[in-house]
Structure 1
Amino acid sequence: MQFARAAAVFAAAGLALALAACTSDGGQAAAPTPTATAWTVQATAGATPGAGPAEFRANASAADNRPAFDAAIRAVLAGKPNADGAAVTSALKSAGFPMSATQVTDSKTSADLQPGSIMVGVKIGKECLVGQWGSAVDGYQSAVTPVLGSGGCLIGGIPAVG
């Protein structure tokens, strides 16, 4: 019985190889098509990346402040793609974002290593601007999200110093 099961597995594997050899691309798999995620920087009304104000506007929405948020963070990351949270929050402070509404995740793990990504969030009204960068993510991404039930923007985020 075990011989029959093993023979069936080998037969299935052989069939798969034979079918792969018959494809027009010589068995080469087609490259996967990228799909958009919630973190893909997308144009939003009033928040087209690269456009808009260079500084925080207190009376504007999160979406309206997103270009300034992105510009401040991208300026830091242009010089140092793996910048820590302190460098990014300092840039946000310089752009006028309130540090009392800003949270950031740790820039070091408990083993004193650089994490795969760092996140920063700024609460604006009932929404948050959230940015993420690091070696585990594809470049820098940002999003406008609802405020969490805890009242903050990040789970495990700590208040920004500044």
Structure 2
Amino acid sequence: MPVVALAAAALALAGCTGAGPQAHAPSPTQTAWTEAPSATAAPGGGSTSFDANGTAEQNRTAFDTAIRGVLAGNAQADGNTVAAALKSAGFPPAATQVTASTTSANLQPGSIMVGVKIGDSCLVGQWGTAVDGYQSTVAPALGSGGCLIGGIPAVG
């Protein structure tokens, strides 16, 4: 995965600065990915409808329900198809990012991710042949203000 390779390269280069260990920034915390809850069960009792005033965690069930609806009909759906379903469910398109649905060699990637920024948090979903089904998580937004490294604005 390009993100893993980028992170490994960054860590390798960080060791070449000549600065002592105290000059290094603290390591980021690992976000736990979980199999997305079913449409009938949500952490914290979330609704299956998008709530513009709700938090990312409160909107997780609506996010998962919209994505699962697409993937039920096409387990290899591309990111923009999923983003269109999120838009139809009420999620703001301007806050939605996706990773590429094809590689630079025009092949299908092992997984595709979609992220929606809500407040200071992001709903992030991932699916594809390299992952076991569909997973989602709620994570802090990146320092850049987005949800995905290398993510592009969704079309849809």
TM-score > 0.5, shorter chain as reference: yes
Instruction: Check if 1:141 corresponds to 2:124.
Output: no
Structural mapping, 1:56-67, within 5 Å:
56-67=50-61
Give the 4+ runs in structure 1 shifted more than 2 A: 51-55
The higher radius of gyration belongs to 1
Residue 56 (structure 1) shift: 1.3
Deviations 1:11-30 (A, max 9, x none): xxxxxxxxxxxxxxxxxxxx
How far, CA to CA, are the matches of 1:158 and 1:55 in structure 2? 25
For 1:48, the equivalent position in structure 2 comes to: 42
CA contact (8 A) 1:72 1:95 kept: yes
Question: Relative to 1, partners in 2 of residues 1:42 and 1:83: Cα closer, same or farther, differing over 3 Å?
Answer: closer
Q: Percent sequence identity over matched residues?
A: 72
Q: Is the 8 A contact 2:115 2:122 kept in 1?
A: yes
Q: Does 1:84 align with 2:78?
A: yes
Alignment of 1:113-152 (within 5 A): 113-152=107-146
**What TM-score, normalized to structure 2?**
0.74
Count of aligned residue pairs for this structure pair: 122
Distance 2:36 2:66 in 1: 17
* C-alpha RMSD of matched pairs (Å): 1.7
Partner of 1:19: none
Show CA shifts across 1:30-72 (max 9, x none): xxxxxxx8211377xxx716x6423211100000000000000
Q: SS of the counterpart of 2:137?
A: strand
User: Post-superposition shift, 1:98?
Assistant: 0.1
User: Gaps spanning 5+ residues in structure 2: where?
Assistant: 1-30
State the Cα distance separating 1:146 from its structure 2 match.
0.1
One-letter code aligned to 1:130: V
Q: For structure 1, which runs of at least 5 residues remain unmatched after alignment?
A: 1-36
Q: Which of 92, 99, 111 pairs up with 2:93?
A: 99
Q: Is the 8 A contact 2:36 2:135 kept in 1?
A: no
- What is the aligned partner in structure 1 of residue 103 from structure 2? 109
